[in-house]
Structure formats: structure tokens, C-alpha cells
Amino acid sequence: MLLLSEKDIKKVFTMKEAIEADKVAFKLVVEDKAQAPIRTNIQAPKYDGSFLFMPAYVEDMDLASLKIVNIFPRNIEKGKPTAPAQVLLIDGTTGEIIAILDGTYVTKLRTGAASGVAFDILSKNDCKIGALIGTGSQAEAQLEAMVNVRDLDEVRVYDLNYERTVDFVEKMRKELSEFRTKIIAVKISDEAVDNADLLITVTPSTKPVFDGNKIKKGATVSCVGAYQHHMQEMDPVLLTRASKIYFDSKEAVLSESGDILIPLEKGIISEKDFTGEIGDVILGNVISRENDDEIIVFETVGVATQDLVVANEIYKKALKANVGKIWE
């Protein structure tokens, strides 16, 4: 069994590779080639936390996986990851665990890469300004994915805690120094989204974190954080203005995401407003952006197939590079 830490993974795997791996995963989802039951969610209300168990199996790949990811938002106050996790990669021919990967980092990669996929195939080619709302543990990879797929002049970052926002921006300026994009901390949400071509929200908020009326024509918005029914980052107004609405998995989103479920229940939108799944766009079965004025919304809650595909690509590269530790 191969043990792979975050440091090991960074030696052999990039965000660009994660974006391409997510594209494969999203295609497997819509082709019905992956068994990935909706995650098991066990609440830990004493700590505002939840334990999530996410299995997947792809027969054509002879692989299975299980991710254990625990969401504890209060960890940010302790300087700890808000989503600690491990991914088990399993040989589908023998049932043996062949690798254990740092699931916290795998989750960051594949979740950030989902926004990268959406922006790569749904956003305008000529994007200049990005916006990021949220600076938790998932935010770094979200920002990295954004600047990987579009050559932006600047990205504005907003969080409820301005001091934390400044610290985040300083860190990311160093980590993403290879990109020409200017990363800026702002004090209000409106300032972040003003004239933004791309917007990512990645927070545990239970109320909208931006004004949907202020999103410009032509913008592409990726909402990442609302993985439970009571969570709602997106202003429902945006859904009424959007030309197209896409999901990573319709089944998963309609089982979990308050961003979509709450407006559905209130009658603000209906299922006829949904355009389709991102995997079908990649396959050419569903239409993509048709002009530069359309507002596009992408809602993602994450699917276990992403973990399986990304973990397998990392595993293969690590074996080739002789990276990681063998546990016999």
C-alpha cells in the first residue's frame, strides 16, 4: 500500500492535471459508468460539524475508492483545516487498498478543479476580473484553478474577517507568483463582484454572500460551499437572471444544495430552468455558452467519482516517480 502526503502529491501533480481529471470524472458520471451513492452525512451539532463518507466504483477502471471527509468550520479559528480527510484507493479486482492519500489535499484539488472545469468550458474567453468570496481551506485551490484557466488582470478576495482576508491574499500572492494576476483584498462583497467576469463562492454561509443584482452580464459564477440543505451562498436573484444553470451532478445537487433547493421550494425557479450537467457539456450533449452576455451559473457539491479519478492519476504518477511511502 502506498501512502501519499500532501507534500508527495505536490511533487507529482498539478492543478491543470486535476482539471483534466475532473473532466474525465464528470463524463463518467453522465455516462452512468460510475457507481457513486450520495454521500452519507452524519451530523455533529455540538461542534457545528459533519462526518461525510463518499464511496465510488468504476468497473471499466477496475477501481473503487472511499473518501472520509469531515467538515468542521470552527477549525478555521484553530488554524486547522476545515475539511480534514483521507482517500482510500482500492483495487477493483482484489478489493485490496492500494493507496491512502491525504484526502484534505485531494479534496482541495478536485473541488478547485471543478470550478476550473466550469470556467474553462462555460466562461468567456476574454475574462479580466475574478472574484473569490471565502478564505477557508478550500479557497486556495479555487483561486489557483481560476487563474489557471483564464489570464486575469486581477482577482478580488472577500471574507467576513478582513484581517484573515489580508493574510490569505499575502499567502496566495507568493504561492501564485508565476501568474501575472494581481490578487487584492477587499472589505465588502459588492467591491469583490463589481464588474467581475468570474466569481467563486466557497463559504459555509446560510444566507447569500453577494447581491445577485450586481453580477454583470457575461459573468460565470461557480458556487461551491452549499453542500447541505440549510446552506445558501447564492442570491436567488442570480438564478432569475441566469441564462443557463449547470450542475456537477443533478442528483447530488438536488439532494443537498440549499443554493438550489431553497429557491425551488419557494417557487423562485423550477426544474425547467436547469440546463444540464457539466459532463454532458463536455461530451457535446448539452449546449454551452452561446454569447458573451449570458450569465452562467454552475452549482457543485462534489461527487465521489472525482476523488476516484484524481486519486488514481496521482497514484500512477507517484508510482512512476517513486514518490511516497510503502506500507507493507
pLDDT (tens digit, 9 = 90+) per residue, 46-66? 999 999 999 999 999 999 999
67 is catalytic: yes
**8 Å CB contact between 127 and 155:** no
Identity (one letter) of the amino acid at 47?
A: Y
CATH class of 115-302: alpha beta
CATH number of 2-106+305-326: 3.30.1780.10
CA distance 297 to 238: 8
Q: Residue 251 and residue 247: Cα distance in Å, rounded?
A: 9
Q: For 274-314, what is each residue's pLDDT tens digit?
A: 999 999 999 999 999 999 999 999 999 999 999 999 999 99
Domain with CATH 3.40.50.720 in the chain: 115-302
From 23, 27, 67, 124, active-site residue: 67
Residues of the chain with CATH 3.30.1780.10: 2-106+305-326
Amino acid at 267: G
pTM value is: 0.92
Nearest of 24, 58, 81, 69 to residue 310 by alpha carbon: 24
- H helices of the chain, in order, are 6-12, 15-30, 103-122, 139-149, 162-175, 189-193, 236-241, 250-256, 258-265, 278-283, 304-321
Distance CA 232, CA 94 (A): 42
Chunked mean pLDDT (size 10), the chain, 328 residues = 97 98 98 92 93 96 96 88 91 98 95 98 97 94 98 97 96 97 98 97 96 97 94 97 97 94 96 97 97 98 96 98 93
Identify the CA nearest to 190 among candidates 205, 210, 218: 210
Burial degree of 40 (CB within 10 A; 0-12, 13-18, 19+): exposed
Cα 279 to Cα 213, 219, 241, distances in angstroms: 29, 20, 23
